[in-house]
Structure 1
Amino acid sequence: MSRDVTVFKPRRDRGSLTVPLSITNSGKKRASYQVEVRITGPGGFDATVRVDTGAVALYPGTSWPTELTVKDPGKPLPDNPVVSIVKNNKRELQS
């Protein structure tokens, strides 16, 4: 299931980090996803953001690109943040 989520290199954007990601349903049934991503870096930067496809159930083989905006007030934005997927729940729709 972790292969369903691809995280791309974050970029700085006006005092925050933007983390692009893509969710691809590699299964055989329509499914929705809850994904939680953690971004850390030097100076104590530590932020967790979530995305939920909610009512948008992906058909098999389709993708849903999105971007998450990350801030950690009072902490410097890292030049080379470490990004990890801490949660990836896939909910298949029952026929």
Structure 2
Amino acid sequence: MTWNAARSLALAGLAASFALAACGTNETPNASSSAVTKPTESVRPGPENAAKDAHQRPGHQRGKIDQNAREAMEERARNAASGDPVGPRNTDIPEPEDYGFGRAAATAEGGEVVAYDPSLEGGRMIVPLTVENRGDKRASYTVTVTVKGKTDPSMTKTVSAKVTGLFKNTTWPTQVDVTGIGVTDVEDLVVTLKVAKTINRWQ
């Protein structure tokens, strides 16, 4: 090979090296290397998400309800008298004491009829009564109330009241007016009862 031919080959190789270097500097960068990663934001759940989360935990809610039910049953069992059922009583029908007439002054017919302490209401002397039918059939009652003065027994007044067709296991509230007895102090009065009870055969 002549010196001129060797020189030409060397120059050709050098030119090729420069061309490759030039191509390398113009290479397009990878798209993934230019992507900017944003920091992850912490999102607090809104009310709708909280409700959804609570709905997705039925076991927790059911456990709370079961615990409340057990506590209620235990409380009823503790408060129940010996031999009484634990279940709630029927409160639709009032008992005699539910009327709030105060202290009983006299009773009759085995406790079915109760007269309460007299009271002054609007200038009138009133004796409240309750009649409770404890029998198995409807009944009618004639209640005779006698009020006397403790200091002066001659101060006496007798009044009657009637309760007709009272259903069994029910209580009927009523009252008698003894105004004019001549005694103004209710603490100076004595109340007595006389009762006639009739079973309603026609029911």
Please give the TM-score of this superposition, normalised by the length of structure 2.
Answer: 0.42
2:186 aligns with: 79
Identity %: 31
Q: How far has the Cα of 1:67 moved from its partner?
A: 1.3
Runs of 4 or more off by more than 3 Å in structure 1?
none
1:28 aligns with: 136
The answer to which structure has the higher strand fraction is 1
Worse overlay, 12-21 or 63-72: 12-21
**One-letter code of the match for 2:170?**
T
**One-letter code of the match for 1:51?**
A
> Match of 2:111, SS?
helix
Q: How far has the Cα of 1:30 moved from its partner?
A: 0.4
Give the Cα separation in 1 of the matches to 2:186 and 2:167.
Answer: 36
Residue 90, structure 1, aligned to residue 197, structure 2: yes
> Match of 1:77, SS?
coil
How many equivalent residue pairs?
91
Q: How far has the Cα of 1:2 moved from its partner?
A: 3.7
2:170 aligns with: 62
Higher RCO structure, 1 or 2 (CA under 8 Å, sep 6+): 1
Gaps of 5+ in 2: 1-108
Please, what is the CA RMSD of the aligned residues? 1.7
User: Structure 1 47/10 Cα, relative in aligned 2: closer, same or farther at 3 Å?
Assistant: same
Give the Cα separation in 1 of the matches to 2:127 and 2:183.
Answer: 16
8 Å contact 2:112–2:133 — kept in the other structure? yes
> Match of 2:167, SS?
coil
Please give the TM-score of this superposition, normalised by the length of structure 1.
Answer: 0.83
> Match of 2:165, SS?
coil
Give the Cα separation in 2 of the matches to 1:92 and 1:68.
Answer: 23
Bigger CA radius of gyration: 2
> Match of 1:61, SS?
coil
1:4 aligns with: 112
For residue 159 of structure 2, the aligned residue among 49, 67, 75 is 49
- Per-residue CA deviations over 1:33-68 (Å, capped at 9, x if unaligned) read 001010011343210010012xx3011100110111
The answer to which structure has the higher helix fraction is 2
8 Å contact 1:15–1:77 — kept in the other structure? no
Give the Cα separation in 1 of the matches to 2:198 and 2:186.
Answer: 35
Give the Cα separation in 1 of the matches to 2:148 and 2:158.
Answer: 9
For residue 16 of structure 1, the aligned residue among 116, 124, 132 is 124
